[in-house]
Chains A and B, each alone.
Chain A
Amino acid sequence: MTDTRTWPLLQTRLLKAGYLGREVVRAINLTVQRGEVVCLLGPNGAGKTTTLLTIAGELVPVDGVVLFNNVPTYTPMNQRVQSGGLGLVTEDRLVFTKMSARDNLRVGGGSVEAALELFPELEARLSVRGGMLSGGEQQMLALARALSRKPSLLLADELSLGLAPKIVDRLLGAVRDAADTQGTGALIVEQHARKALKYSDRMYLMARGQILLELSADEAMRRIDEIEETYLSGTSETEEDHIERTRRFHRRKAWRRQRVREREVSRLTGKLASTRTEADDDYYFDIEQSRRENQERQKRR
């Protein structure tokens, strides 16, 4: 009897991501199956966009791995979109202002007919320049272009940002449709929880760089108040942070004590004391500390 395991379309393992050396997302594990719509909810600054961009390939993970169909992927973003079956709609809408809507759909290999099937209301606006389209039309354009190439995985960041509820329904409906009819898996980041949950199968709740909750959409709607609570109150610093900071504090104190002792000793024995002072100590301490942290990080990799 063969064990037919279907690998998830997308999986991340202990994914850590960030910008400029700052870790914004710590040890995320999430999955998306074929034909499933998963929404990623959470307050501002939680790290949702960072996670999405790391999965898309724009940001290189600090640690951990992104797997498509159980294959770890390290290719750059444009390759993932071009030949890797990824569809991407980012927060800044990806609409080129100086091109017509028709050209916007065509660039990168999109299909105008397929796009018009999804959003027939775009037909009237095909020759309008991208910059002149309304926000809703631009978002429809970006989503249509991504879906017209029949991707296997769709990543969408804040589709509903600044748009009227009816248009949000159209957009999320199109994503749901693609998942149901074509088996496209979708990971959508949203701020407005209730709307997003109506069209999703599952949800993850993120705050301060970590996943706090993973629920099915129905369960999440029942517990919607808890979820919305995280939006309106900042969540506390994690245990790890606190321990790390206290450790540093104690280490710094110990270092200072040792220097004082050294100075006492050299004064008593008459040997020349170094001309370093407390301020220098801190400075050199910080350099030592960061060097040590770098080494540890290297070892861990």
Chain B
Amino acid sequence: MGEVVRFALLGLGVGALYAFASQGLIVIYRGTGVLNFSLGATAIAGVFLQWELQYEQGWPFLPAALVGVLLSAFLGVWTHWWVMKPLRRASSLVRVIATLGVLLSVQAGVIIRYGSQPRQVDSWLPTNRLILWGDVAITVDRLILLGIAAASAAGLWALYRSSQFGLATEAVSESERSASAIGLSPNRIATLNWALGSAIAAIAGILVVPIITLQVTVMTTLVLAAIAAALVGDFRSFPIATAAGLGLGVAQTLVGRFTDQQGLGASLPFLVIIGVLVLRGRSLPLRDYFLKQQPMLGNGRMSWDWTILGCGVIVFLMLTKEPKWIDALTVSLGVAIVLLSIVVLTGYAGQLSLAQYTIAGFGAYVAGRLVAVYDIPFLLGLVAGIAAAVPVGLVFALPAVRTRGINLAVVTLGLGTTMELMLFRNRSYTGGVQGTQVGNPDLFGYDIGSIKYPERYGIFVLAMAILAVWVVSNVRRGRSGRRLIAVRTNERAAAALGVDVMKAKLFAFAFAAGLAALGGILLAFRLSSISYGSFTTATSITFAGLALVGGVGHLLGAFVGATMATAGFNQEILESTWGGVGRWIQLISGIAILLTVLGYQDGVAAEWVKMFRYFKKARKWGRPYIIRLEDVADLTAPADEDTRVAPHALIIEGLTVTYGTVVAVNNVSYRLEPGTVTGLIGPNGAGKTSLIDAISGFAPADGRVLVDDVDISMLSPTLRARSGVARSFQSLELFEDSTVFENLSVAADPQDLRSYLRDLIWPVNPTFPPEVVRAVVEFQLDHDLHRDVKDLAYGKRRLLAIARAVAMHPSILMLDEPAAGLSSAESEELAVVVRRLAEEWGMTVLVVEHDMNFVMGVCDQVMVLDFGSLIAAGPPEVVRSDPAVIAAYLGDEADETEDDEPSSVGAAGSSAMTMTAGDGS
């Protein structure tokens, strides 16, 4: 018992560090909405500076500490001004990688200056022992640390609760726009918070470093524990996070002392994170911006000419250069395969996973152990390793179903670190001191071992890399690729089109795991004895950054990024040109990541592609990439009659939507007949979009929704879409990075599971069934199929949004403000099309609109909502002169008696108004 307490008290030291770090994280998060992964690195830079000033320059403690803290604060402010501020409209993927880029750069810089060996530092705080009771003793410094952590928590709590600065920070964290509107400067608040948060972490580091040794990697791994503690405090509460941090430190020390499982203690933070994020259903309250720009995607077409040329060059180099060059090339090719997995997972599917290299290590682990222990042939081991990694990928995918963006990054980081700590660092699992002995790999008796025949191994790796590129290219061009991209760009729209988002994510993770395993096995088997210590999480993070640098949406990007890897091609070049400079590759990688993220977010390969396309167009050689409707139309099916949809009525019964205490839709019941157009009108905020959200499944509602007599009220949006209920969105929600053709394909593709497997080998060229062809012609998009959505004119974009919903061949079509912003003539054309959809296609159409002319001209029936209730319904002429409707729009009160003329409005009296352009003062 006494020993438990003793170790618990010992753990207070490291617990105080976690507590302080979590306070720093929360300060920065509350001020700016950014999860600062680089907090540990900026803090340790300050600590190192203090150490240098005190021990090498002979300064006294306090001035040295002050300068160290100032350095950290300065690095924090610098990070905000030069990295995070320019990125405030970027996607969360890019912002996470930006902080990781800062982490890598600062860490590399510190290693270059101070080296990576641990140093022991004397404590500034008194360390005499204090007997508490019996044989339980504690050193004074830990007590002091506990006291300081508690005082800091209390101080921060008071600061953020009632001072003007604290209120301003709270306001900015809730809504930057509202804060600006009341006169606060979000930028100033952010700067102050970054400085404060970084300073707190630096002070913590300086005080605690005597307990843990002074070493770069210690502080950077503590960030995971700090995130766990901050998460328990919901990234808001200083007292709770401090308590959680102290508790975590104590728990870790106890676990480390009393269990034999190596690495379990260090994995404790991760278990806390996964508990909070996934089970409790909490997520990091992100501030996501409306118009996030995602990195550009390549079209996934492999150019065989260039590929063969490239292969030829590489083979030539391999056959003629010395082994160290061949090895560098081999490493780069192997890393390229791992980066390809990141291209698929993060580029195509938009899921940020910071553990790909760890999964690669797992594949290598399985393959290596099988070959070493059971002596199976190399190829079999390769296949087994890949097959074993796929289920692991699925396990990593499960959190992705409930979390996204930064939450997912944190969870994958935790999972990867756990695997690294518990599996790879554990000697008893990895073959003891001499590592896993796998001998020389051979291919059906042909020795390709890298030690004796580096060029043979290199060419084998090259062949595998080309195979990987081919498979990824197939997926990109096939149905599964389109689904992944739809999920990446806009999950809501994808679900509304019938795409099963969860299965798409599972596929992406599984496929990426297989690819990563392939790369990992090839990299590991270069040596005849594998040590798994190199499969670190830090490298996973670096690879994610390198993939972004190379171009995370492009096949070529994986190769470009891979040249920057440690022991890869670029390092070899640097090393040969300026000796001894090779170790700077880490720092250069970090800076390259930052520059990419700030400037060329699409990556190097994307810039090349853009230049190439520009060159092609300027010189006018090659054929411009045009898609003709005749080429993609499946004209084997018969004529017009078959484009009618199956007629179904839409019935809503007692539909009620409440958001907290606000009732958005109040007990609405109606029946919409097939072949008719029903209008839904009402003043602003009446609940029209909420009603459509409820019918299509995007808002939870009471009441029932039926299609004929099938109750769909319990189905998810995806399943409702598949049962024939399609909708368009007020904000269009188009897939901006894709072409018109791809947008329509996602809607028109059959939603089958088989295509996930089939696309790996044989992607089907998508064709449009006749009804989709007819829709394309109807909406006049036949000449625009190849154009990117972001290049389309406004009117065409609105038409595309509707065409996409129609391409699903739905029985029930709901359009949310289709004519917004269109000119009068365009509205008329749209009205004609909508009429045709109902009469000739036989759809049940529900249209929400503000434009009265449109509604009156098109609709057979009109529903009027006000404050969520249905106040009138019937033919347009009747509704128009209904006094209740007029009152709702114009705000008359029942007791308004001044202007006693009857308030019925003339039918088409616009000419009666004398209009003068508002021209002068």
Binding site for B on A (CB under 8 A): 8, 11, 22, 28-31, 43-45, 56, 58, 76-79, 81-82, 88, 90, 92, 94, 96-99, 103, 106-110, 145-146, 158, 160-162, 165, 191-195, 204, 206, 210-214, 221, 224-226, 228-237, 241-242, 245, 274-280, 282-283, 286
Q: Which residues of A contact B628 (CB under 8 A)?
A: 279
Tell me the bound Cα distance from A56 to B852 in angstroms. 31
Tell me the bound Cα distance from A247 to B709 in angstroms. 53
Is B765 among interface residues, defined by CB-CB distance under 8 A? no
- Contacts A78-B184, A194-B890, A221-B899; A107 near B171 (Cβ below 8 A): yes
Q: How many residues of B contact A (CB 8 A)?
A: 68
User: How many A-B residue pairs lie within 8 Å, measured between CB atoms?
Assistant: 182
Is B634 among interface residues, defined by CB-CB distance under 8 A? no
Is B889 among interface residues, defined by CB-CB distance under 8 A? yes
Q: Which residues of B contact A245 (CB under 8 A)?
A: 823, 825
Closest 3 pairs (CB-CB, A-B)? A211-B918, A192-B891, A81-B183
Binding site for A on B (CB under 8 A): 162, 164, 167-168, 170-171, 174-175, 177-186, 620, 623-624, 626, 628, 683-685, 783, 787, 793-794, 820-821, 823-825, 827, 850-854, 867, 880, 886, 889-893, 896, 898-899, 901, 903, 905-906, 908-910, 912-913, 915-921
Q: Which of A78, A98, A158, A279 is close to B185, meaning CB atoms less than 8 Å apart? A: A78
- Contacts A29-B920, A82-B183, A99-B171; A229 near B824 (Cβ below 8 A): no
Q: Which of B184, B893, B909 is close to A107, meaning CB atoms less than 8 Å apart? A: B184
Can you list 21 residue pairs at the A/B interface with Cβ under 8 Å? A29-B920, A58-B177, A82-B184, A90-B178, A94-B181, A99-B170, A106-B167, A107-B167, A107-B168, A107-B170, A110-B182, A191-B891, A210-B918, A212-B916, A224-B899, A232-B880, A237-B823, A237-B824, A241-B823, A242-B825, A282-B783
Tell me the bound Cα distance from A106 to B880 in angstroms. 47
Tell me the bound Cα distance from A274 to B898 in angstroms. 73
Q: Which residues of B contact A88 (CB under 8 A)?
A: 181-182
Shortest C-beta distance, B93 to chain A (Å), equals 22
Tell me the bound Cα distance from A274 to B621 in angstroms. 10
Q: Which of B787, B820, B867, B909 is close to A162, meaning CB atoms less than 8 Å apart? A: B867
- Please classify the interface of chain A as helix (H, G, I), strand (E, B), loop, or mixed, using the class held by over half of its residues: mixed
A108 close to B852 (CB less than 8 A): no
B917 close to A210 (CB less than 8 A): yes
Q: Which of A96, A195, A206, A280 is close to B174, meaning CB atoms less than 8 Å apart? A: A96
A194 close to B624 (CB less than 8 A): no
Tell me the bound Cα distance from A236 to B684 in angstroms. 21
B626 close to A279 (CB less than 8 A): yes
A233 close to B181 (CB less than 8 A): no
A234 close to B918 (CB less than 8 A): no
Q: Which residues of B contact A78 (CB under 8 A)?
A: 179-181, 183-186
Beyond A79-B185, A162-B867, 15 additional pairs, beta carbon < 8 A: A28-B918, A45-B821, A76-B180, A78-B185, A82-B183, A96-B175, A109-B164, A192-B890, A194-B899, A206-B918, A213-B918, A229-B910, A233-B908, A234-B853, A245-B823
Shortest C-beta distance, A224 to chain B (Å), equals 6
A234 close to B854 (CB less than 8 A): yes
Closest to A280 in B: B624
Q: Which residues of B contact A30 (CB under 8 A)?
A: 918, 921
Q: Which residues of B contact A276 (CB under 8 A)?
A: 624
Q: Which of B162, B180, B867, B912 has the most CB of A within 10 A?
A: B180
Tell me the bound Cα distance from A51 to B377 in angstroms. 73
Closest to A205 in B: B918
Tell me the bound Cα distance from A191 to B175 in angstroms. 26
Tell me the bound Cα distance from A41 to B386 in angstroms. 66
Shortest C-beta distance, A227 to chain B (Å), equals 8
B181 close to A44 (CB less than 8 A): no
B890 close to A162 (CB less than 8 A): no
Q: Which of A29, A237, A242 is close to B921, meaning CB atoms less than 8 Å apart? A: A29
Q: Which of B181, B620, B853 is close to A90, meaning CB atoms less than 8 Å apart? A: B181
- Contacts A29-B920, A210-B918, A237-B823; A232 near B167 (Cβ below 8 A): no
Closest to B791 in A: A286
Tell me the bound Cα distance from A22 to B683 in angstroms. 24
Shortest C-beta distance, A149 to chain B (Å), equals 8
Q: Which residues of A contact B185 (CB under 8 A)?
A: 78-79, 82
- Please classify the interface of chain B as helix (H, G, I), strand (E, B), loop, or mixed, using the class held by over half of its residues: loop
A193 close to B890 (CB less than 8 A): yes
A81 close to B181 (CB less than 8 A): yes
Q: Which residues of A contact B852 (CB under 8 A)?
A: 232-234
Q: Which residues of A contact B921 (CB under 8 A)?
A: 8, 11, 29-31
A96 close to B915 (CB less than 8 A): no
B918 close to A204 (CB less than 8 A): yes
Closest to B170 in A: A99
Closest to B622 in A: A275
Tell me the bound Cα distance from A165 to B892 in angstroms. 10
Shortest C-beta distance, A21 to chain B (Å), equals 9
- Contacts A96-B178, A193-B890; A275 near B623 (Cβ below 8 A): yes
Shortest C-beta distance, B158 to chain A (Å), equals 14
Tell me the bound Cα distance from A235 to B854 in angstroms. 11
A98 close to B915 (CB less than 8 A): no
Closest to A91 in B: B684
Shortest C-beta distance, B836 to chain A (Å), equals 21
Tell me the bound Cα distance from A45 to B849 in angstroms. 11
Tell me the bound Cα distance from A225 to B825 in angstroms. 27
- Contacts A28-B918, A29-B919, A233-B853; A56 near B891 (Cβ below 8 A): no
B184 close to A108 (CB less than 8 A): yes
Shortest C-beta distance, B294 to chain A (Å), equals 17
B905 close to A228 (CB less than 8 A): yes
Q: Which residues of B contact A103 (CB under 8 A)?
A: 162, 167, 170
Tell me the bound Cα distance from A44 to B683 in angstroms. 9
A229 close to B918 (CB less than 8 A): no
- Contacts A22-B821, A241-B823; A191 near B182 (Cβ below 8 A): no
Tell me the bound Cα distance from A279 to B785 in angstroms. 10
Shortest C-beta distance, A78 to chain B (Å), equals 4
Q: Which residues of B contact A79 (CB under 8 A)?
A: 183, 185
Q: Which residues of B contact A237 (CB under 8 A)?
A: 823-825
Q: Which of A8, A81, A225 is close to B901, meaning CB atoms less than 8 Å apart? A: A225
Tell me the bound Cα distance from A85 to B890 in angstroms. 33
Closest to A108 in B: B182
Shortest C-beta distance, A289 to chain B (Å), equals 10
Shortest C-beta distance, B408 to chain A (Å), equals 26
Shortest C-beta distance, B792 to chain A (Å), equals 9
A45 close to B850 (CB less than 8 A): yes
Q: Which residues of B contact A106 (CB under 8 A)?
A: 164, 167
Tell me the bound Cα distance from A210 to B916 in angstroms. 10
Shortest C-beta distance, A143 to chain B (Å), equals 12
Closest to B820 in A: A45
A232 close to B889 (CB less than 8 A): yes
Q: Which of A158, A191, A283 is close to B624, meaning CB atoms less than 8 Å apart? A: A283
Tell me the bound Cα distance from A221 to B900 in angstroms. 12
Tell me the bound Cα distance from A291 to B594 in angstroms. 32
B794 close to A22 (CB less than 8 A): yes
Closest to B621 in A: A275
Closest to A99 in B: B170
Tell me the bound Cα distance from A121 to B899 in angstroms. 32
- Contacts A165-B893, A235-B910; A229 near B905 (Cβ below 8 A): yes
Tell me the bound Cα distance from A43 to B479 in angstroms. 44
Q: Which residues of A contact B901 (CB under 8 A)?
A: 225
Tell me the bound Cα distance from A166 to B912 in angstroms. 34
Q: Which residues of B contact A31 (CB under 8 A)?
A: 921
B684 close to A191 (CB less than 8 A): yes
Q: Which of A88, A230, A279 has the most CB of B within 10 A?
A: A279
Q: Which residues of A contact B905 (CB under 8 A)?
A: 225, 228-229, 232
Q: Which residues of A contact B820 (CB under 8 A)?
A: 45
Q: Which residues of B contact A232 (CB under 8 A)?
A: 852, 880, 886, 889, 905
Shortest C-beta distance, B626 to chain A (Å), equals 5
B171 close to A191 (CB less than 8 A): no
Shortest C-beta distance, A215 to chain B (Å), equals 10
Tell me the bound Cα distance from A96 to B172 in angstroms. 9
